[in-house]
Every structure is written in structure tokens, then in C-alpha cells.
Amino acid sequence: MKKRAYQTAICTLVTLSVLTVGCSGDKGQQQGEAPAAASTTTTPKTPDVKQPPLKLSIMATYYTPQPPSNQNDIWKKLQEITDTQIEMTWVPRSAYDDKVSVSIASNDLPKVMLALNSSAPPLVNAIKSGLFWEIGPYLKDYKNLSALSKLQFESTKIQGKTYSLYRSRPLARFGVTYRKDWLDNLNLKEPKTPEDMYNVMKAFAKNDPDKNGKDDTYGVLAFKDGQGYLIPHIASWFGAPNGWKEENGQFTPDFMTNEYLEALKYIRKLYDEKLLNQDFVVTEEQQMNTMFNQGKAGINLGLFDDVGKQQMEVAKLNPNAKIAILDTITGTKGQRVWAQPGYTGVFLFPKSSIKTEEELKRILAFFDRLQEQDAVNMLTWGLEGKQYKLTNGQVEKIGGDEAFDKDTLGLGELRIDDGSKELVATGENPLTTKGKQLIKDNVKIAVVNPALPLYFESPTWSQKSNELRKIASDGAVKFIMNKIDENEWKKVQEDWKKAGGDKVLTEFAESFAKSKTK
């Protein structure tokens, strides 16, 4: 499955309660159609009058140098089958969160707004103030929307109500990608434990694994402030919780646990011995991926979504290069994988743009229609006969990857389905197939964040989450770079508590206790 389009997820997040029974009124609604008007026994039924296409403005993001175009045949067909006229506003990812905040502040909102940072304080406050429609009561009236994971809906609720449609993503996407040819060059075995991994990283950095006679490689890469994927990956090997530890209704942030400290010590050793890129504090994620593709490091702790595509990128620069993947490393608590929330971003429906309940129902019908097989095929592969053909039930692209990517760019941003209907490509890269399978298999060892549903319920977290995260993140980076010792690391924890962390812990405990009494 393409990362840009969508990847499947099975979520095992903490359960609070099942979705409440909502309003009725459009149970006979069909895909892509507006709800039928209620009939009476005293007035003769008149023929249905076809409504004009639904005018739908949507704001979403893109990750490429140029924004997608929704003027090609695929977009036209999509609008035809959904009976819509879609106006897309594309915002680059780097500016997207700011755009959301500005749009809310100015009340200049589309009918459908993608929010990538769904726990951002300005957004949560706007939802609580009534700026967006509550959609929970309507979901039962749509075949596909009502079949979405109730557990994931629970994790997006605010004050017990559902305001958004989540974009489902894999829960257990993370693992180890490494240079198999380097491992073979050095006669090393695949690492199984944190100690094995350290030895491989050291050999990749010190023993000229690419045989070019130069000291120009790292063992492993990280990006930005160290929080990237490196710390969560390695922390999971040492048994640290994912975000928070819950015990008897009391919460402790992960960075205050002994397991997390052991992980930081491990990473500091990598940094001290120059097994880790020394400029990780200013390295962007894309730069990190490019460095790996260029053969600057032998291990990349990241996502399995596009590992087959990554193999092709590596091979373009070095035809003899080979990469492989590990599901995880066996640490003190066995095999564990840091779990994501199970979704990336949510769609919200502003009241200022959607004036009536009837219009809201038509928009929900649009998203329900997008989950039918033909729409899933279109959002993933384009048009049969133009972008792809079917061979024995499997997809084969027509034309090259570059043309295909250009034609289908942006379509995946609309997907919210669970991926179960997605067609498989013929001749799929075996590494891609293995990555998909590991994503499914690793759900059983995924360590979830027990506080995820509580983020929206804590006023202090809504107001100060960015500040609190920065205190912990900056402290972790300083520890890794040997700028603070263990005593100063304890001071970081105290600073976090004084900055509002203590209040967050109290509010989490209170909300958790309330959820258990429902």
C-alpha cells in the first residue's frame, strides 16, 4: 500500500465506551445521495426531485514540491460518482498547522477541514466552543461510517462526543531497516537484542562496510530534536511505556521512568562514539531518509510503509545495495513495538460553512460513498484502463511510476477506510509484501498510549502540551549530547511538573476515574 494513499490499521487503544446511539431520520439513505425527506400518511408522495451536485470545499495538505491538481479525469470521475463539485485548498505540510490556526481565528473555514494535529490547543478549544458539528449521532445511519473502528472513534472524542472522522493508519508501522549488503560484507548476523544492535551500529560506523576505504558512514540516523523515531524505537526495546504509564489510575510520563533513562544512556553512547549522525538536532526527516538512501548510514529506524520503494531509491544510487527489515528487537520485556494512535489527522465540519443538518448529512454521505469498492480503487489506483489494469484480480500500472504518481497525487488524502478493500499490485516488491505483513503481525506486540483519549479532557494539557513536550524533548537532547547529567535530568522532570505537569497528572487521573464509572 502506498504511504501517500493509505495504510491499513488495527487499533487496540484503551477503550472507554462504545459510541452512543444517535439521531435517526435517514436510515434509507443510499451512497452518495442526500437523505430522503420524511413521508406522511396524509400527503400523496411526489416524485423525488434530484438535487444539484453538492458543492464541497475541502482543505487538505500535500508533501510534494507542487500541489496536486484536481482537474484530471480521475477527479472528474470521483465527483461524478459522489454527485459533488469539489473545490480543494491544498496547503503544504510545513505550513499546515499554522493555516488551521489562522483559519479558526478568522472563522474562514471550508466545509471539510483536515486537522493533522487534532490535539492542538486552539483546535480543541474551538471544538469545545461549538465551532464544529457533532457528528456522532449521525454515524449509525451510514453503512460504511458506522462500520469504522469504535475504539479509534473513542480516542478522538472530546468531552465524550464525536466531532470528527479519523483517517485510519496502521497501528504498528515501525521497525528497523538496514543495509543487508553491509551486514554480509562484515560477516555479521542479523541483530536480535539491543546489545547486538549496538555491535552492528558500531561495525557499520567503524569497519568500512561499503568497502570504499573511507571513514564516512554512521551506524544509525536520527532527525530534528532526537524525538523523531529514534528515542521511541529504542525506548520500547528497554521496556519504556508509549507516552505515559498508567498504574492504578495514576499516570506517569514516559520520560520519568527508569526504562526511558536507560534508553537515553544507550543513545548517548551512540552519540559519544559517533555512531549516530552528530547534527541530528538540525536534520530534517527527508534529509535523514536521503542520507540513508545515499549510503551514509546502515540503519534507519522508521516506517515499513514504503520499504519496497526505499529499496528502489537505494538501488538507483548503488545497484549492488540491498536493504532488509526487522520487525523489532527483543529487549528486557520481550518484543515490543511503539504504537501510533491508529489514525493520522481527522476531518472536521465547521458550522459556519455548513449551515444545515441536511447539508451535513450529504457531506457524511460523501465520505460513506468513498468507502465503496469502486471509490477505493479510484482513490488508490486511478481509473481502470487509464492508470491501471486488472490481471487475475491484481493491479498492474499502465505507464511509468512518474506519470501514475502525478495523476493520483492527493487522492489518498481523502481516504478514511481501513484498507481491507484495497487491491494488491502484481509483481509487488517482496520487501513491500514483508513490510505489510509485519505491520499486521506486530499489532499483537504494539505498546499503546493509555493517555491518548485523555488529551482532550485535560484543560492544562490543551493549554500547555507544547510547552511540556518541549521541556521533556529539550532535556532528552541535552542528555544525549552530554550537556546534562542524571541529576540535571531529574531537574528537567521537576521543571516539567512545575510548568503544569503536576496539574495534568491530576486531571488525567480524574478523567480516567470518571471513564470507569460510565
**Does residue 54 contact residue 362 with C-beta atoms inside 8 Å?**
yes
Domain end: 338, 360, 379, which one? 338
42 has a pLDDT exceeding 70: no
Q: Give tens-digit pLDDT for 156-182.
A: 998 889 999 999 988 888 889 999 999
337-338 and 446-447 strand pairing? parallel
Q: Are residues 160 and 206 in the same domain?
A: no
d(CA 452, CA 511): 12
Q: Helix/strand/coil (H, E, C) string of 200-252?
A: HHHHHHHCCCCCCCCCCCEEECCCCCCCCCHHHHHHHHCCCCCCEEEECCEEE
Q: Give tens-digit pLDDT for 236-264.
A: 999 999 999 999 999 999 999 999 999 99
Q: Provide the pLDDT for residue 3.
A: 38
For residue 434, being part of any structural domain is answered with no
For residue 30, being part of any structural domain is answered with no
Q: Are residues 205 and 282 in the same domain?
A: yes
- Provide CB contacts within 8 A for 181, sequence distance 6+: 320, 321, 322
Which is nearest to 156 in space by CA: 141, 144, 168?
168
Residue 498 DSSP symbol: I
402 has a pLDDT exceeding 70: yes
For residue 220, what are the β-bridge partners?
A: 276, 299
Which is nearest to 232 in space by CA: 168, 304, 174, 298?
174
C-alpha cell at 415: 481516504
For residue 243, being part of any structural domain is answered with yes
For residue 435, being part of any structural domain is answered with no
26 has a pLDDT exceeding 60: no
Task: State the CATH number of the domain containing residue 62.
Answer: 3.40.190.10
Domain end: 338, 367, 400, which one? 338
**Does residue 442 contact residue 337 with C-beta atoms inside 8 Å?**
yes
For the four alpha carbons of 431, 437, 440 and 441, in that order, the dihedral sign comes to: negative
Four-point Cα dihedral 228, 233, 238, 241, nearest 10: 70
d(CA 231, CA 267): 8
Domain that includes residue 103, residue range: 54-170+342-421
Q: Are residues 178 and 157 in the same domain?
A: no
**Does residue 2 contact residue 404 with C-beta atoms inside 8 Å?**
no
User: What number of other Cβ atoms are within 10 A of residue 357's Cβ?
Assistant: 14
Q: Which of the residue ranges 87-96, 129-138, 223-232, 485-494 would you say has the lowest mean pLDDT?
A: 223-232
For the chain, what is the domain count?
3
Q: Are residues 316 and 348 in the same domain?
A: no
Q: Are residues 196 and 306 in the same domain?
A: yes
* pLDDT confidence band for 149 (50 / 70 / 90): confident
Q: Provide the pLDDT for residue 228.
A: 63
**Does residue 173 contact residue 303 with C-beta atoms inside 8 Å?**
yes
Mean pLDDT, residues 28-55: 52
Q: Are residues 296 and 363 in the same domain?
A: no
* pLDDT confidence band for 361 (50 / 70 / 90): very high
Angle of CA points 79, 82, 85, to nearest 5°: 40
Write down the H helix ranges in 318-382.
Answer: 357-369, 373-381
For residue 26, being part of any structural domain is answered with no
For residue 166, what are the β-bridge partners?
A: 346
d(CA 415, CA 367): 8
pTM: 0.74
Q: Are residues 166 and 190 in the same domain?
A: no
The whole-chain average pLDDT of the chain stands at 88
C-alpha cell at 241: 511505556
Q: Are residues 316 and 351 in the same domain?
A: no
**Does residue 87 contact residue 55 with C-beta atoms inside 8 Å?**
yes
Q: At residue 350, what is the residue type? A: P
Q: Are residues 181 and 142 in the same domain?
A: no
- Provide CB contacts within 8 A for 251, sequence distance 6+: 244, 245, 450, 451, 454, 505, 508, 509, 512
Domain end: 305, 338, 371, which one? 338
**Does residue 368 contact residue 125 with C-beta atoms inside 8 Å?**
no
d(CA 481, CA 484): 8
C-alpha cell at 181: 549488503
For residue 507, being part of any structural domain is answered with yes
Q: Are residues 121 and 211 in the same domain?
A: no
* pLDDT confidence band for 227 (50 / 70 / 90): low
Q: Are residues 160 and 179 in the same domain?
A: no
Q: Provide the pLDDT for residue 226.
A: 52
Q: Provide the pLDDT for residue 366.
A: 98
For residue 221, being part of any structural domain is answered with yes
Instruction: Provide the terminal-to-terminal Cα distance of the chain, rounded to the nearest Å.
Output: 39
For residue 9, being part of any structural domain is answered with no
Q: Give tens-digit pLDDT for 419-448.
A: 888 888 888 888 988 998 899 899 899 998
Residue recorded with cell 460510565? 518
Q: Are residues 293 and 211 in the same domain?
A: yes
